[in-house]
Amino acid sequence: MTAADHTESSDGVKQTLEEREKELQCIYRVSQALARAEKNIDDRLQAVADTLPMGWQFPDAAAARLTIDGRAYTSSAWADQQTRQEAPIVIDDAVVGQVTVGYHAGVADEQLDPFLPEEELLLGEIARRVAEFLNAEWQRERVDHLASQRASTRNRTVPREQGQTHHGLIGESPGMQAVYRAIERAASINATVLIQGESGTGKELVARAIHYESDRSAAHFVPVNCAAIPEALVESELFGFVKGAFTGATTTRAGFFQTADGGTIFLDEISEMNPSVQAKLLRVLQDQEVRMVGSDKTRRTDVRIVAATNKELPALVRAGEFRADLYFRLHVLPIEIPPLRDREGDVRRLLEFFAGRVSRKVRAEPLSFSERALRALERYEWPGNVRELENLVQRLAVMVDDSFIDITDLPEHMRTASKTGSKSTPDTELRSLQDVEQAHIARVLDSVDGNRTRAAEILGIDRTTLRRKLKNLES
């Protein structure tokens, strides 16, 4: 062996030893990060992502990402890495996440293979340690729940419904704070209110809050679902009828407006009202008078009108499906209820409220949710809003044996959901528009327990269109 060969061999051994030292240092620091009990789980997993690049051949150009149940923890240099090395995080034979280390395009171009064979083993060891950490934390969460449950059983009192503010409305998000302020403003004056929001957001609760916080609270609150009344009966139901007005009118009967005299009438789904009734409602708003069907006399009425819709009324006005003059009469005090997906922090508050309420009705032990389940539910879009969340809690209370709800207890489409508009990863599956539409229809139907009328309302289509789309889905 020549001196040059010996020097080259020594340099190779030295480089190999340096690489092994970096890998051992990486494992040590990852273990330290996971063991920091004063930090929460998120902070510890983020520390692992920040630490990982130091163990690789080109640490200054490397970046790392941990993905746990759809939640990502990335080092500062992470982008769309062109060359990547991955290892699954496996707990009880189930893949719950992935550890990834990658290089950007420049390193990939300069190096034929920037990854060393030993780095694959290193990544697998990191994934194994993260899996052990997560399993221990999730088991501890369950043990803490059982201990808390035993303590609450020993000191059982009637639980107070936290977070309840305005007559059943739950939430402390900025969007709901704005709704509460609008309720107080509307309750203090006697103007017409138009409540707008998606199906299931709680429009009737807002209307009730306005009524019961106003000086009309001693009189009747009369809710009317305009979409549920047959078109031929809408006028007689709203304004009443006199004896002999039509076949079957054997007596005079007051309508909803007469019943609500002195109080509030809530006209839900007002966009479904036919044009002839829209004209009569406009007259009520203008003159404060109603005319019963079959009568030639008008009667004064003192009724506050609160209307609601889940549709865009200006678009219906432009399409000629809703009277512009009626819209402007209704649009005096508009209140917009935000969808649940935009109410940061309120999903947890609503889960706590509904879990406490349903537990007192159907089971002895109160329901509680693991952090994994809570995160999955916060990522979910909630097309059916609060109504869908309440239905979920009721279903879990009946169907799940354990009072501790983990992510595996949730419906499959809720476990892996992600917020619309969130940055997708390179691994995101690309699907056709038809596939996406069919999956969304199936998800909405599941959220309303198969109720096609409610599903059509959420999707913004009529039942005939929904029926046709379902037929295509089944074919």
Structure tokens given for 136: 């221990």
Structural contact between residues 265 and 208, judged by C-beta atoms closer than 8 angstroms: no
* pLDDT tens, the chain, 475 aa long: 554 444 455 545 555 666 678 788 888 888 888 888 788 888 899 999 998 888 888 888 888 899 887 788 988 888 766 688 889 998 877 788 899 988 876 665 555 567 888 888 888 888 999 988 888 887 777 666 555 555 554 444 433 344 455 678 999 999 999 999 999 999 999 999 999 999 999 999 999 999 999 999 999 999 999 988 888 888 888 988 888 888 888 888 888 999 999 999 999 999 999 888 999 899 899 988 888 888 888 889 899 999 999 999 999 999 999 999 999 999 999 999 999 999 999 999 999 999 888 877 776 677 889 988 999 999 999 999 999 999 999 999 888 888 889 988 999 888 876 655 443 343 444 566 777 777 788 778 777 767 787 778 777 787 778 887 887 766 6
- Determine whether 239 is exposed, middle or buried from the number of CB atoms within 10 Å of its CB (0-12, 13-18, 19+): buried
* DSSP alpha helix (H) spans, 35-116: 41-51, 105-110
Which element (helix H / strand E) includes 334?
A: strand 333-336
Architecture of domain 174-336: 3-Layer(aba) Sandwich (3.40)
- Between the alpha carbon of residue 186 and those of residues 211, 311, 462, the distances in Å are 9, 21, 32
Architecture of domain 355-474: Orthogonal Bundle (1.10)
Which element (helix H / strand E) includes 21?
A: helix 3-34
Structure tokens given for 144: 């803490």
Give the per-residue pLDDT at 266.
96
Which element (helix H / strand E) includes 192?
A: none
> Is the entire prediction scored with pTM above 0.85?
no
Name the segment(s) of the chain with CATH classification 3.30.450.40: 10-153
Instruction: Specify the pairing of strand 193-196 against strand 94-103.
Output: unpaired
**Which fold would CATH assign to domain 10-153?**
Beta-Lactamase (3.30.450)
Taking the C-alpha atoms of residue 131 and residue 95, their distance in angstroms, rounded to an integer, is 10
Structural contact between residues 420 and 381, judged by C-beta atoms closer than 8 angstroms: yes
Give the per-residue pLDDT at 351.
94
Structural contact between residues 218 and 207, judged by C-beta atoms closer than 8 angstroms: no
Name the segment(s) of the chain with CATH classification 3.40.50.300: 174-336
Give the per-residue pLDDT at 334.
95
Name the segment(s) of the chain with CATH classification 1.10.10.60: 355-474
- Find the distance separating the first CA and the last CA of the chain, reported in whole Å: 75
